[in-house]
């Protein structure tokens, strides 16, 4: 019986194999990993994945790089993530530690790719649960590395740490770390990146984190505290250089008053959507609604609505405006997130939304 | 539409001028007399000045006996400050002690003198220099010389970057003079070493004030830009219409200063734009009665006669001769000749007439009764 070609491949992928063999095999697998079928083939033999993981540490740069690229494709697939997370390298609980190691290494060129893999892994809920304990001790380090723009000396920008943190914030323990740690609140280090113009990845990750935290109403008191000044960072992507009447301008957070002529709204529509979702979540509590009203959020959304062309996003904007326009008595519930919506109503509302979006 | 009559200005006679001067002098005297009288107490009392002079270390002729003297006085007696008798470090230290003595007795200016002398010694010892600058900074702080306090505190830090007291003072003084970035930087350095609540509060205060300061400068910039834009819009509109402006060589020469009305009190009626329509201040002159009417804002798209109709009958028009059907309207062209105009035309059109040149940003027209003697005299005056 002919030897299974995959087994042959495994031989070539061993760490002590000839360099050119490793190279060609990886290339081949990389090509395979472009399709769903290809990934299934790769996943069919445990040993392949293990070899690839080992090769990420290969001395030859090209090989380690390709091994990591392969893993990005594998982890883009949720089945791939689950398989990957099962693997226990020597002495460790899972592979996450290896990748964290690459990220924290200031000399490696592969740090960005490692970030992307971690980001992919944490996007899958099950995998996040399994790996969370590995992440927790490194949270401060990862955040510090993220904040230090020049951390990596070999060209990696580490932008994908932002979506990683955003994914991690789905976990309650990470949220607690973000909102409670002493002496320096981690969230404060993250906030300025909501407006970091050089990278939409960083902006998206920062705002995504805020949105995830806002889902949990228990954090609202913290989020809306005066000293945090959340709204300054959250609203900036929605503001351009539009004019406001004097009384309206005075209501806005100070840093947002009289923005210069050059100010533009965030060009990335997904980011704008996330901001609106976050505002929507903040409207769940009475305190949130009142804080948003008192800070002139209505005026900002009014101007934004005139500018936004995408129908779905305008709908999201209107949803927030609808809540803000009402007086507190009209809202009818202190904490909207706890209101139960009957199933048939949910469907009805969904249909109304679709109709509106299609008509505009 | 508002209009006001400007009376003829009477000139002063010499007597009137003299009288006015005297009056002003008298008022000044009365004002000074009215000020609170305070004696100059800082100096030596007049009758005992020689006595006091003998007591001052610089001027005493004999060494004092018994009571305490400031170290400088003592030193003079003991040649404490003789550079030949002391190393620079000793010298600087002695001056520092002198400064400290005065500081303790709240004589901050004298203290500063002492510390300054110590600094001038330029000892090699970093510690004494840091100390001298720091202490001088403290003296300045008490005198509310905040900028000097900052300068001296930072000089102290240059000799000893870990001098926390100097840094705290620099931060606090910076807040007083609105140098918020400096305050924030110093606070952050301090907080790195040690999480002090007061410093954190200071930092937050500085940050808040900086936010306000930034906002205010953005606000100012925006309103300045707005005014700029408005100005440019006006000039552009004028150029577009092709109105001739006096004292303007070509289009680039036109700016708002050349369009300022020269009439007293008319500066705020300078030409402006509303919805694309230029609004001009207009001067009407009536040679017969030496009267004038000033119209604050006349839109260019309105016939001139409409504006004038609102002014008639005029209060000075004793014989009720002036009405829209009886008058002729003239302007003086750049050829120095009078030209009659059709007042049913809009102001905008009139400004574009041949020979018309705008002076002092104010269109001016002469109004006389048609066929009257006044009209003849008016026209003849130009020949």
ipTM of the complex: 0.72
- Same domain, residue pair B267 and B203: no
Q: Taking 90 as the threshold, does the pLDDT of residue B143 lie above it?
A: yes
For residue B364, CA distances in Å to A203, B95, B253 come to 62, 76, 22
Q: How far is A98 from chain B (nearest CA, A)?
A: 32
Return d(Cα A135, Cα A137) in angstroms, integer.
Answer: 6
Assess if residue A174 is contained within a domain: no
Assess if residue A184 is contained within a domain: no
Residue count of chain B: 383
What's the total number of domains in chain B?
A: 2
**B222 to chain A: which residues are within 8 Å by CB?**
258, 260
- Same domain, residue pair B262 and B200: no
Return d(Cα B369, Cα B331) in angstroms, integer.
Answer: 15
Return d(Cα A276, Cα A205) in angstroms, integer.
Answer: 15
In the stretch 222-241 of chain B, residues with CB closer than 8 A to chain A read 222, 225
Closest Cα to residue A6, out of A33, A42, A35, A36?
A42
Query: Quick check: B211 and A259 CB within 8 A?
Result: no
- Same domain, residue pair B204 and B271: no
Best of A189, A191, A255 to substitute, by most chain B Cβ atoms within 10 angstroms, is: A255
Residues 6+ apart with CB under 8 A from A321: A298, A301, A302, A305
Domain that holds residue A211: 200-360
> Could you give the 3-state DSSP secondary structure of residue A159?
coil
pLDDT of amino acid B51: 78
Return d(Cα A138, Cα A102) in angstroms, integer.
Answer: 13
Assess if residue B162 is contained within a domain: yes
- Same domain, residue pair B132 and B192: yes
Q: Which of A51, A84, A117 is the last residue of a domain?
A: A84
- Number of helical (H) and strand (E) elements in chain B, helices listed first: 13, 7
Return d(Cα A58, Cα A67) in angstroms, integer.
Answer: 9
B218 vs A183, A227, A257: nearest CB = A257
Assess if residue B13 is contained within a domain: no
What is the enclosing helix (H) or strand (E) of B183? helix B180-193
CATH number of the domain residue B307 falls in: 3.10.20.90
Assess if residue B230 is contained within a domain: no
Higher-pLDDT residue of B166, A358: B166
Nearest CA in chain B to A232: B211
Residues 6+ apart with CB under 8 A from B321: B369, B372
Assess if residue A140 is contained within a domain: no
For residue B149, CA distances in Å to A98, A283, B41, B173, B200 come to 54, 49, 28, 7, 21
Identify the sign of the CA torsion A224, A226, A230, A235.
positive
pLDDT of amino acid B74: 66
Q: Taking 50 as the threshold, does the pLDDT of residue B4 lie above it?
A: no
Q: Which of A33, A64, A84 is the last residue of a domain?
A: A84
Residues 6+ apart with CB under 8 A from A266: A200, A203, A237, A238, A272, A275
Best of A185, A189, A231, A257 to substitute, by most chain B Cβ atoms within 10 angstroms, is: A257
Q: How far is B212 from chain A (nearest CA, A)?
A: 7
Domain that holds residue B262: 256-380
- Same domain, residue pair A75 and A217: no
- Same domain, residue pair B112 and B178: yes
pLDDT of amino acid A219: 92
- Same domain, residue pair A350 and A215: yes
Return d(Cα A10, Cα B274) in angstroms, integer.
Answer: 81
Name the pTM for this structure. Answer: 0.71
- Does A255 lie at the interface with B, CB-CB under 8 angstroms? yes
Assess if residue B214 is contained within a domain: no
3-class SS string, A326-352: CCHHHHCCCEHHHCCCCHHHHHHHHHH
Query: Quick check: B215 and A258 CB within 8 A?
Result: yes
**A259 to chain B: which residues are within 8 Å by CB?**
218
- Same domain, residue pair B296 and B364: yes
Q: Is the peptide bond before B313 cis (omega within 30 degrees of 0)?
A: yes
HSE value, Cβ hemisphere, 13 Å, CA-based, for A286: 8
Assess if residue A231 is contained within a domain: yes
- Does B275 lie at the interface with A, CB-CB under 8 angstroms? no
Instruction: List the alpha helices (DSSP H) in A93-245.
Output: 96-104, 111-123, 125-135, 139-147, 161-168, 172-180, 186-190, 200-215, 220-223, 230-235
Assess if residue B244 is contained within a domain: no
pLDDT of amino acid B1: 45
What's the total number of domains in chain A?
A: 2
Rg, Å, chain B Cα set? 37
Q: At what angle do helices B164-176 and B126-142 cross, to 10 degrees?
A: 30
Q: Taking 50 as the threshold, does the pLDDT of residue B364 lie above it?
A: yes
**B204 to chain A: which residues are within 8 Å by CB?**
227
- Same domain, residue pair B199 and B116: yes
CATH number of the domain residue B177 falls in: 1.25.40.10
pLDDT along chain A (360 residues), means of 10: 73 85 88 87 85 86 90 91 85 86 92 94 93 93 93 92 96 93 84 94 96 94 90 95 92 93 93 96 92 95 95 94 84 71 81 82
Assess if residue A151 is contained within a domain: no
Query: Quick check: A255 and B214 CB within 8 A?
Result: yes
Query: Quick check: B219 and A257 CB within 8 A?
Result: yes
What does DSSP say about strands B364-369 and B327-332: parallel, antiparallel, or unpaired? antiparallel
- Same domain, residue pair B202 and B308: no
Query: Quick check: A227 and B211 CB within 8 A?
Result: no
B218 vs A183, A227, A258: nearest CB = A258
Q: Which of A61, A84, A107 is the last residue of a domain?
A: A84
């Amino acid at each position: 019986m002919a030897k299974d070609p995959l087994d042959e491949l495994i031989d070539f992928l061993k760490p002590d194999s000839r360099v050119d063999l490793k190279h060609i095999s990886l290339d081949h697998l990389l090509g395979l990993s472009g399709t769903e079928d290809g990934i299934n083939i790769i996943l069919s033999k445990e040993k392949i994945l293990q070899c690839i993981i080992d090769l990420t540490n290969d001395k030859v740069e090209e090989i380690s790089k390709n091994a990591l690229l392969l893993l990005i494709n594998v982890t883009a697939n949720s089945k791939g993530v689950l398989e990957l997370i099962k693997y226990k390298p020597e002495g460790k609980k899972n592979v996450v530690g290896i990748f964290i190691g690459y990220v924290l290494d200031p000399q490696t060129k592969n740090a960005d790719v490692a970030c992307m893999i971690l980001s992919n892994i944490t996007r899958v809920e099950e995998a996040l649960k399994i790996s969370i304990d590995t992440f927790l001790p490194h949270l401060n380090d990862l955040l510090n590395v993220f904040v230090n723009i020049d951390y990596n000396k070999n060209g990696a920008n580490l932008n994908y740490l932002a979506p990683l943190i955003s994914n991690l914030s789905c976990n309650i323990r990470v949220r607690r770390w973000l909102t409670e740690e002493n002496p320096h609140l981690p969230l404060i280090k993250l906030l300025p990146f909501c407006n970091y113009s050089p990278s939409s990845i960083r902006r998206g990750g920062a705002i995504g984190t805020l949105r995830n935290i806002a889902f949990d109403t228990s954090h609202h008191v913290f989020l809306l505290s005066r000293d945090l000044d959340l709204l300054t960072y959250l609203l900036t992507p929605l503001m351009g250089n539009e004019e406001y009447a004097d009384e309206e301008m005075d209501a806005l957070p100070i840093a947002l008053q009289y923005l210069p002529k050059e100010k533009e709204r965030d060009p990335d529509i997904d980011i704008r959507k996330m901001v609106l979702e976050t505002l929507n979540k903040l409207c769940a509590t009475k305190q949130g609604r009142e804080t948003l009203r008192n800070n002139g959020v209505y005026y900002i959304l009014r101007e934004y609505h005139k500018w936004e062309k995408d129908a779905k996003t305008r709908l999201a904007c209107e949803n927030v405006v609808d809540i803000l326009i009402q007086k507190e008595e009209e809202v009818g519930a202190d904490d909207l997130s706890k209101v139960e919506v009957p199933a048939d109503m949910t469907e009805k509302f969904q249909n109304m939304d679709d109709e509106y979006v299609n008509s505009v | 539409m508002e209009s006001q009559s400007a009376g003829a200005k009477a000139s002063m006679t010499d007597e009137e001028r003299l009288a006015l001067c005297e009056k002003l002098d008298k008022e000044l005297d009365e004002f000074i007399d009215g000020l609170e009288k305070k004696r100059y107490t800082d100096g030596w009392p007049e009758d005992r000045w020689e006595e006091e002079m003998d007591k001052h270390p610089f001027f005493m002729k004999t060494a004092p006996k018994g009571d305490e003297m400031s170290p400088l006085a003592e030193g003079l007696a003991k040649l404490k400050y003789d550079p030949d008798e002391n190393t620079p470090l000793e010298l600087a230290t002695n001056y520092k002690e002198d400064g400290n003595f005065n500081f303790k007795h709240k004589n901050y200016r004298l203290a500063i003198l002492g510390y300054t002398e110590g600094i001038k010694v330029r000892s090699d010892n970093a510690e004494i220099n840091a100390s001298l600058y720091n202490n001088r900074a403290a003296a300045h702080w008490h005198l509310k010389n905040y900028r000097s306090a900052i300068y001296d505190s930072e000089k102290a830090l240059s000799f000893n970057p870990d001098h926390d007291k100097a840094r705290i003072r620099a931060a606090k003084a910076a807040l007083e003079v609105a140098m918020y970035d400096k305050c924030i930087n110093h606070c952050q350095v301090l907080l790195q070493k040690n999480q002090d609540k007061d410093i954190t509060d200071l930092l937050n205060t500085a940050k808040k004030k900086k936010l306000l300061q930034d906002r205010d400068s953005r606000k100012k910039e925006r309103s300045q830009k707005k005014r700029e834009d408005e100005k440019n819009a006006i000039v552009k509109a004028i150029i577009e219409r092709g109105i001739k402006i006096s004292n303007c060589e070509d289009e680039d020469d036109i700016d708002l200063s050349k369009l300022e009305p020269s009439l007293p009190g008319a500066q705020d009626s300078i030409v402006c734009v509303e919805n694309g329509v230029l609004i001009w201040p207009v001067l009407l002159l009536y040679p017969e009665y030496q009267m004038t009417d000033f119209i604050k804002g006349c839109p260019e798209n309105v016939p001139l006669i409409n504006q004038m109709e609102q002014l008639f009958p005029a209060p000075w028009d004793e014989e009720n001769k002036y009405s829209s059907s009886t008058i002729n309207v003239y302007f003086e062209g750049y050829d120095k000749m009078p030209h009659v105009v059709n007042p049913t035309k809009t102001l905008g059109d009139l400004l574009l007439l041949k020979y018309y040149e705008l002076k002092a940003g104010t269109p001016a027209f002469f109004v006389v009764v048609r066929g009257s003697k006044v009209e003849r005299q008016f026209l003849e005056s130009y020949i």
